[in-house]
Amino acid sequence: MKIILNKWLSMLAVCTVLAIPISRAQTPTDAIMMEKGQLCVAAIYGHDTWDEYWEGTYKRSNGNIGTLTRQSVTGMFSLGITDRINVLGALPWMKTSSSAGFFHGVQGIQDWGVWVKARAIDFKVGPGTLGFYPVLGLTGPASNYLPDYLPFSLGLGAVEASGRGILIYELDMGLYVRAHAAYHVRGNTTIERDYYYIPGSGGVYSDQVDMPNVSSFGATLGALLLNNNLKVEATYDGMNTLGGADIRPHDMPFPSNNMDMTRAGLSLQYYIPLGNGHILSVIAGGSQVLTGRNVGQSTAFMGGLTYQFGVFGNKKATN
């Protein structure tokens, strides 16, 4: 079972950037593929907090929030349609809370996500293998949450289509480097008021908010150890919102704010063959937001389990 969850590094960063969670299983940002007929399911718990955030480029704390905490439980799956085409899905439940002030957190199901990943190119180059993987994705709200309640909101409430390219070079001895870049096209989000103000643009009489698109990127250095049963990865990733205004001084965030960030993380995954083609794995990791604009400086931890087995075709899973 080859699973490393990195899209809630990407998707949850885009949807809830003021409190970016982390979780890991096979995702749209890695180069892992299920063989034909292999199904992997995952349950991931995430916990992240911040007590400082960037209001534009000014870093500050807020006594009306204190420390903001987000907890999430994400169910995921990846299915090998063929050896070269996989379908992935994810659905997170989230809860937000703060240590101070009078604002109440919320809880509920956030955004569904579906992606198609393909192994387009892989060929031998020197002492390793070079591969290229294109990924197409679609995400959207899975419940009727309030997007205009940041930083407590579960998400931004917008449907998003994304296209991603992943390039990886794997040495035969188990070391590899990977890079990815994506473009996210977001639709409007609906808020529960018919007027809002955008700095630099003025007042808008509508409940529809034009959401800016987003670009994201990442790089990973990884290694397979202990006869390929242990995977270790160090990551650096980020996002850049292509438009939007800064948070106004001493005001609440708004869904269309310009939200940028960079982050570093570390993850471990240990595979446990169970026999008869079934494989269990244990995942743990953490991340830290390094720089940002209109986002919280979040520290996040995660842990979870994945389980791989065959559902059609060759039902013997390989590690």
Q: Is residue 317 part of a domain?
A: no
* CA 251 to chain CA mean position, Å: 27
| Cβ-contact 150, 181 below 8 angstroms | no
Give me Rg for the CA atoms of the chain: 20
Helix (H, G, I), strand (E, B) or coil at 167: strand
Going by pLDDT thresholds of 50, 70 and 90, the confidence category of residue 317 is low
- Whether residue 2 is contained in a domain is answered as no
- Tell whether 69 is covered by a domain: yes
Spatial neighbors of 144 by CB under 8 A, at least 6 apart, are none
pTM of the predicted model as reported, rounded to 2 decimal places: 0.88
Q: Two tokens at 114?
A: 């579906």
Asked if residues 143 and 153 have their Cβ atoms less than 8 Å apart, the reply is no
Q: Which pLDDT belongs to residue 200?
A: 82
Count of structural domains, the chain: 1
Q: DSSP secondary-structure letter at 179?
A: E
The answer as to whether 1 is a domain residue is: no
**Model pLDDT, residue 276:** 86
Phi, psi of 43 (to 5 degrees): -130, 120
CA 101 to chain centroid: 29
- Categorise residue 276: left if φ over 0, alpha if ψ from -120 to 50, beta otherwise: left
pLDDT one-digit tens code per residue, 145-188: 999 999 999 999 999 999 999 999 999 999 999 999 999 999 99
Q: Compute φ and ψ for 256, nearest 5 degrees.
A: -95, 15
What is the mean predicted confidence (pLDDT) over 289-307?
97
- Provide the mean pLDDT of the chain: 90
Spatial contact of 94 and 153, defined as CB atoms under 8 Å apart: no
Q: Is residue 141 in some structural domain? A: yes
pLDDT, residue 19, reads: 33
Cα(217)–Cα(45) distance, integer angstroms: 24
**pLDDT tens digit sequence for 50-62:** 999 999 999 999 9
Q: How confident is the model at residue 314 (pLDDT cuts 50, 70, 90)?
A: low
What CATH number is attached to the domain comprising 121? 2.40.160.40
Residue 319 lies in a domain: no
pLDDT tens, residue by residue, 302-311: 999 999 999 9
Q: Per the structure block, which two tokens stand in for 10?
A: 């990407």
In a domain, 13, yes or no: yes
Please give the average per-residue pLDDT across 222-231, as a whole number: 95
Strands 68-80 and 111-118: unpaired
Give the mean pLDDT of 6-10: 35
Q: Is residue 160 in some structural domain?
A: yes
- CA-to-CA separations, 162 to 46, 182, 193, 305, in angstroms, rounded: 23, 7, 28, 27
Identify the pLDDT of residue 250: 84
* Residue 260, both tokens: 């940028």
Q: Look at residue 22 in the predicted model and tell me its pLDDT.
A: 35
Closest CA to 112 of 145, 70, 151: 145
For residue 319, pLDDT beyond 80: no
Rounded to 5 degrees, φ, ψ at 19 are -155, 75
Domain span at residue 144? Answer: 7-310
For residue range 10-52, what is the model confidence (pLDDT) as tens digits? 333 333 333 333 333 578 999 999 999 999 999 999 999 999 9
**d(C-alpha 111, C-alpha 98), whole Å:** 22
Q: How confident is the model at residue 315 (pLDDT cuts 50, 70, 90)?
A: low
Give the model's confidence band at 318: pLDDT under 50 very low, under 70 low, under 90 confident, else very high.
Answer: low
CA distance 316 to 319: 10
